[in-house]
Amino acid sequence: MEKETARSRIDRYLPYLLVLPTFAFVSLFTVWPTLSALYRSFFQQRLNIAKFRTPTFIGLGNYADIFSDPHFHRVLGNTLFYIIGTVPLSILLGFLFAMLVNRKVRNVGLARLAFFHTTILPMVSAATVWMFFFTPGYGLFNTALAALGYSGPQNWTGSPDLALLAVMIVAIWKNAGYYMIFYLAGLQNLPTPLYEAAGLDGANWWQKIWSLTLPLLRRTTLFITTIAFIDAFRTIDHIFVLTSGGPSEASTVLLYYLWQKRFEQLDIGLSSALTVILILVLLVFTITNFRVSEKGEEDV
Amino acid sequence: MSNKFRIRAGKLAVSFLTLGLSLLWLTPVFWTLIASLRPADDPLGRGNVWFGYTLTLANYWRAWSMAPFGEYYLNTVSLVLMILGVQLVTVTIAAFAFTYYQFKGKKALFFFILLQMMIPTSALLAPNFSTISKLGLFDTILAIGIPYFGSAFGTFLLRQAFLEVPRDLVDAGTIDGCSWWQLLWHIYLPPSLPTLIAFGLSSVIWHWNEFLWPLIVTNSPNSRPLTTGLVRFTQLGEIGAQWSLLTAATLLVVGPLFIIFLIFQRRFIQSFVHSGLK
Amino acid sequence: MTLRKLSALALLVLLLTGMLAACAPKEEAGPVTIQVYYPVAVDAPIAAIFDGYIEKFQEQNPNITVEAVYSGGYGDVKTAIQTTIDGGGEPPALAVMLATDLYDLVNAGYILALDDYIAADEDGAAYMQDFIASFMENSHYDGKTWSIPFQRSAVLMYYNADFFAEAGLEPPDSWAAWGEAGQALTQKDSDEVTRWGIEFPSGWPYWLFQPLAIGNGQNIIGEGDAEVYFDDPKVIEAVQFYIDLSEKYGAMAAGVQSIWGQAPTDLASGQTAMIVHSSGSLNTLLEQADFEVGVMPLPGKTAGTYASVPGGGNLYLFDNIDKVKQDAAWKFIRFLSEPERAADFSIQSGYFASCKGAYETEVMKAYMADNPQVAQARAALDVAGAEFSVQNLGEVRGIFHNYLQQAYNGELSAAEAMAAAQAEADAAMEAFK
């Protein structure tokens, strides 16, 4: 009897203990800094202007400045375009790749490696290689396009219409293989007869994917969408290498803008406010996404 | 008959599509490999972007000599193994708690931890630096790794795997009087081992390639990882791009990762079979 | 089962090794240890050269230990230092940062004025006198001296002298001659250009643009620290000239050219007859090119005028650290700028030597005699104006880049773009007027 109580008491506290290490590290290195950014976002502090060096409380002043700044609107537009352009397409490609390599044929492992290897490469190196590929005239990307009959503009990193597209192409190339992995897992988990029915035979291929495979992979898709969305906000290395956010801000996205405010313009208050905005956007999206994906499940 | 033919033609088409897309996707890395073997004094130009006048390993020697890569390799290996080791523990027990127990605030805690996935570390450099220096960890390998000791991604992924473990099995274990760690060790972990390996590879790749944070919290070769050597080649500085050096250095840095992936490839991909994502 | 045990064991071992490596004790240092943050790029094996100097310095000063920290490019070094100071850490004693970072660093209270050290040294005045004048343009603020030139460069025009000889052309001495030479040297295969006359990068455009403005008699900045001349008719004319190089002369590809990385390679492989680039790429060009590389400042508008602008990094001494460390760092600064060392650094790295004395040394004279291009590059400094540096530089430079690129890409006319740039820049510098 006594033993029972002891055990149930342990059981009461144990889950908290088990979560504690993760909780502690997340608190210390993610949540606390976020709160500190929130706090600093209510102050004006610009390190490169002597009289604004010490923080002064200005309430929501930084937020007001941000939302009334036409540059910020441009940056938001770019970010939105970047997300709409990269997230669905890389997920779609990830799905296609998964379908292609989820077969029992020879050398399929090599094809998996081919699609996945981009995940391994550091973005800085990959982007620098792409910088060469985008070279007008003889860069491989342009040569390949020309071979396909493309005769449009080639100034990928210098033209205001193409620069954002260029960094998006690199991001899609880099990420699709990562998402493939999750689809592959999902596909292999499908009930075999169903999966075979949705296989690669005959005229109803697309219909079967549409009405069988995709619905069954719904949770995978939501999970990947979340990761892809977060990735789209978090990765800017390729922008540094390829375009420096230019020409004329054409490829400046939210995190790059934040970076400029913080480290080029030394505006602590404004960049803290931007951090808060960035985190809020991600939070709203992710929570909505998880709500949708967890709906109808008994756990959590 | 014609139906069979159509199926065969369809399969062939899919194979060709796979081959074509694989080659397309691999082009940059093929080029990287070839460019790394090109003599440095042979400039790229129109119609001359692949092989140089000869093949050479000189770029690799030169890149190797431009930074203490030997030391960096050791540091990176210690770093990723340290992070992985700690993560495997923290992630496993947290995922177990979130799967097995019902407790107050469970949902809130879970979302709290998921925050980590959403917040770009590069936006929080200064406060994290401050924490590191208060902990007296500046310029240690531990400083690079400690912010990642808890992993929302891993917790989430592993929880998914644990949810797949049949409840009957768990109940049987509970009735038999297994302690929590026996349940975890004997019932939850064995079927989830592939997921752990998958998560491990993800973690290793990610931390192998991270560079901004290590650049800021370390400053001596005793603690700096490979990527801080790589940045010496990715910065164009005042000079034009040195493709041969950059590509050689890149392959030096990621080479081991390719090998790890090749070894674990089968496992890595098959492991997701059981990971419970669907 | 065995596999599981094995992996568990392996895990444990790995974990322990990781922990051990992380906890390895740090080496004990001598009486004073100072750190120097140094940006590295693929330039020369700068790290090896610099480590050599440190060794020599430590031989001469056994009580001082210098640790060089190579942290990516200029941007990364600045980020690391800002994060360190903002996060309550101790900055390094010394860092090589962009000469143009001056105002930001002073305003943020990061750096120490050097006047006391200069005054305390017997030969202080002579020491300062010896630096090449255009390298000192970004070292003074508020009546004080804040930085010592070290890793310096300038904007140059490089040309393929063989192409010029084949076409019977002389190196251009005016804008018109430049455009025409570029036009004559551009080659086409039916519609496709196979060789450009000029490649003029503009992905990060202010630096390479400045010589155009200076060559028209009006730099984009003035004497004051919050004074810009973006909408000056001469500056607008310079913007228009850049556009004309493609529109009027067809000597260059149209629009913004993000080709900083490729341009030197393109010259070396004969893809272009001329490039505008940093003096820092001279050594590689000489190594790669199998033709005679010509080096000159950029032609000005009127015949016989030329212009350039300096660039690169200076040595900054940090505030809020032990005086002993600052003293040691100053010693190291003096050591680095001794004429022999400056000459050696220039020869090994391809950067300019920062002081006139270096160009009087025997080694440097001999080196220049062997490499006439080095002397030609050096001559560009005589026609160089001041590099773009004003208060609130990050924002003002961003504004200028934004509108300059809009003009280059034909989204706005040169005059419209520069008028807008001027207005926004003035607003951004309001706090300093």
Q: How confident is the model at residue C12 (pLDDT cuts 50, 70, 90)?
A: low
What residues contact A193, with CB distance under 8 A and at least 6 apart? none
CA distance to C47, C97, C118, per residue, from A40 (Å): 38, 27, 39
To the nearest 10°, report the CA torsion of A196, A200, A202, A205. Answer: 90
Please name the amino acid found at residue C267.
L
What six digits make up the tokens of A229?
């969305």
Identity of the residue in C107, C256, C398 whose CB atom sits nearest the CB atom of A247:
C256
Q: How far apart are CA C242 and CA C212, in angstroms?
A: 8
Confidence (pLDDT) at A215:
80
pLDDT at C335 exceeding the cut of 80:
yes
* For residues C286-305, average pLDDT: 94
Q: What residues of C are in contact with residue A159 (Cβ under 8 Å)?
A: 255-256, 409
C72 with B81: Cβ contact below 8 A: no
Structure confidence by residue, pLDDT tens digits, A19-39: 999 999 999 999 999 999 999
Percentage of residues of chain A with pLDDT beyond 70: 89
Q: How far apart are CA C335 and CA C69, in angstroms?
A: 18
What six digits make up the tokens of B58?
């000189």
Residue identified by tokens 């674990």 is B264
pLDDT at A184 exceeding the cut of 90:
no
C41 with B222: Cβ contact below 8 A: no
How many helices (H) and strands (E) would you count in chain A? 15, 2
A51 with C431: Cβ contact below 8 A: yes
C47 with B86: Cβ contact below 8 A: no
Q: How far apart are CA B275 and CA B261, in angstroms?
A: 18
Please check whether residue B240 touches C, CB under 8 A. yes
Confidence (pLDDT) at C26:
39
Q: How far apart are CA B1 and CA B11, in angstroms?
A: 16
Range among A94-103, B204-213, C332-341 with highest mean pLDDT value: C332-341
What residues contact C74, with CB distance under 8 A and at least 6 apart? C39, C97, C98, C313
Instruction: Say how many CA atoms lie within 13 Å of C428 toward its Cβ.
Output: 24
Question: C258: helix, coil or strand?
Answer: coil
Is residue A57 within 8 Å of B144, Cβ to Cβ? Answer: no
Confidence (pLDDT) at A246:
82
* Residues 46-85 (C) with a CB less than 8 A from some CB of B: 47-48, 67, 69-73, 76, 79-80, 82-84
Identity of the residue in B14, B113, B128 whose CB atom sits nearest the CB atom of A29:
B128
- Give me the DSSP letters along B25-70: HHHHHHHHHHHHTS-TTS--BTTBSS--SS--SHHHHHHHHTTTHH
Q: How far apart are CA B4 and CA B13, in angstroms?
A: 14
Q: How confident is the model at residue A220 (pLDDT cuts 50, 70, 90)?
A: confident
Please check whether residue B157 touches C, CB under 8 A. no
Q: How far apart are CA A161 and CA C119, in angstroms?
A: 55
* For residues C138-157, average pLDDT: 94
Confidence (pLDDT) at C192:
84
Q: Which of left, alpha, beta for A250 (phi over 0: left; psi -120 to 50: alpha)?
A: alpha
Q: How far apart are CA C84 and CA C135, in angstroms?
A: 28
Confidence (pLDDT) at C22:
46
Please check whether residue A242 touches C, CB under 8 A. yes
Between A86-90, A170-174, A213-217, A255-259, the lowest mean confidence (pLDDT) is in A213-217
What residues contact C8, with CB distance under 8 A and at least 6 apart? none
Residue identified by tokens 């979340």 is A226
Identity of the residue in B14, B27, B103 whose CB atom sits nearest the CB atom of A100:
B14
CA distance to A13, A168, C43, C350, C373, per residue, from C283 (Å): 68, 35, 9, 6, 10
Q: Which residue of B has its CA nearest to A228?
A: B118
What six digits make up the tokens of B187?
């019932």
CB atoms within 10 A of CB C33: 15
Confidence (pLDDT) at C1:
40
Which comes out higher in pLDDT, residue B122 or A177?
Answer: A177
Q: How far apart are CA C345 and CA A38, in angstroms?
A: 47
pLDDT at C120 exceeding the cut of 60:
yes
Q: What residues of C are in contact with residue B241 (Cβ under 8 Å)?
A: 42, 261-262, 265
pLDDT at A173 exceeding the cut of 50:
yes
Which residue out of B83, B207, B238 would a mutagenesis test of the C interface target, given it has the greatest number of C Cβ atoms within 10 Å?
B238
What six digits make up the tokens of A26?
């997340």
| Phi and psi, residue B91, nearest 5° | -70, -40
What six digits make up the tokens of A135?
């070279």
Q: What residues of B are in contact with residue A114 (Cβ under 8 Å)?
A: 21-23, 25-26
CA distance to A131, C79, C103, C317, per residue, from A50 (Å): 39, 19, 10, 19
Question: C47: helix, coil or strand?
Answer: helix
User: C271 to chain B, minimum CA–CA distance in Å?
Assistant: 7
Please check whether residue A266 touches C, CB under 8 A. yes
Please name the amino acid found at residue C85.
I
Q: What residues of C are in contact with residue B45 (Cβ under 8 Å)?
A: 265-266, 269-271
Q: What residues of A are in contact with residue C203 (Cβ under 8 Å)?
A: 157-158, 243-244, 246-247
Confidence (pLDDT) at C44:
62
Query: What's the distance, CA C35 to chain centroid?
Result: 22
Q: What residues of C are in contact with residue B132 (Cβ under 8 Å)?
A: 87
- Give me the DSSP letters along C289-303: -SSPEEEEPEE-SST
User: A125 to chain C, minimum CA–CA distance in Å?
Assistant: 13
Three-point CA angle A285, A222, A292, nearest 5°: 65
Residue identified by tokens 């790995």 is C14
| Segments of C272-349 assigned E as strands | 272-278, 293-296, 298-299, 306-307, 310-317
Is residue C69 within 8 Å of C36, Cβ to Cβ? Answer: yes
* For residues A261-269, average pLDDT: 91
Confidence (pLDDT) at B267:
60
Structure confidence by residue, pLDDT tens digits, C407-418: 999 999 999 999
What six digits make up the tokens of C124?
């202080």
Is residue B225 within 8 Å of B76, Cβ to Cβ? Answer: yes
Query: What are the residue ranges in chain B where pLDDT is below 70?
Result: 1-2, 194, 265-278
Total-model pTM: 0.90
pLDDT at C360 exceeding the cut of 60:
yes
Q: What residues of C are in contact with residue A255 (Cβ under 8 Å)?
A: none
Peptide bond into A247 cis (omega under 30): yes
Identity of the residue in A26, A129, A202 whose CB atom sits nearest the CB atom of B28:
A129
Q: How confident is the model at residue C216 (pLDDT cuts 50, 70, 90)?
A: very high
Please check whether residue B5 touches A, CB under 8 A. no
Chain C contact residues (CB < 8 Å to A): 75, 78-79, 82, 86, 103-104, 107-109, 193, 202-204, 253-259, 261-262, 271, 391-395, 398, 401-403, 405-406, 408-409, 411, 431-432
| Segments of chain A assigned E as strands | 43-44, 56-57
What residues contact A131, with CB distance under 8 A and at least 6 apart? A157, A241, A242, B241, C258, C261, C262
What residues contact C289, with CB distance under 8 A and at least 6 apart? B43, C160, C267, C268
What six digits make up the tokens of A227?
């990761």
User: C373 to chain B, minimum CA–CA distance in Å?
Assistant: 16
H helices within chain B, ranges in order? 2-36, 58-65, 69-100, 106-118, 125-134, 141-145, 152-163, 167-175, 180-182, 189-209, 212-217, 226-234, 243-271
Q: Which residue of C has its CA nearest to A129?
A: C261
Q: How confident is the model at residue A147 (pLDDT cuts 50, 70, 90)?
A: confident
Confidence (pLDDT) at C9:
52
Confidence (pLDDT) at B266:
67
Identity of the residue in C48, C80, C280 whose CB atom sits nearest the CB atom of B215:
C80
Residue B147 buriedness (CB in 10 A; 0-12 / 13-18 / 19+): buried
Q: What residues of A are in contact with residue B205 (Cβ under 8 Å)?
A: 119-120
Q: Which chains touch B (3 or more CB pairs under 8 A)?
A: A, C
Q: Are strands C298-299 and C32-38 parallel, antiparallel or unpaired?
A: unpaired
| Percent of chain A as helix, strand, coil, to the nearest 5 | 75, 0, 25
Please name the amino acid found at residue B112.
F
Average pLDDT of chain C to the nearest whole number: 90
Three-point CA angle B10, B15, B18, nearest 5°: 125
pLDDT at A196 exceeding the cut of 70:
no
- Give me the DSSP letters along A209-221: IIIIIHHHTHHHH
Is residue B160 within 8 Å of B275, Cβ to Cβ? Answer: yes
Which comes out higher in pLDDT, residue A38 or A9?
Answer: A38
Question: C326: helix, coil or strand?
Answer: helix
pLDDT at A7 exceeding the cut of 70:
no
Q: Which of left, alpha, beta for C315 (phi over 0: left; psi -120 to 50: alpha)?
A: beta
Is residue A86 within 8 Å of A236, Cβ to Cβ? Answer: no
* For residues A63-91, average pLDDT: 95
Is residue C203 within 8 Å of C195, Cβ to Cβ? Answer: no
Q: How far apart are CA C47 and CA C38, in angstroms?
A: 9
Average pLDDT of chain A to the nearest whole number: 85
Which residue out of C3, C33, C35, C42 would a mutagenesis test of the B interface target, given it has the greatest number of B Cβ atoms within 10 Å?
C42
Q: How confident is the model at residue C28 (pLDDT cuts 50, 70, 90)?
A: very low
Q: How far apart are CA C365 and CA C368, in angstroms?
A: 5
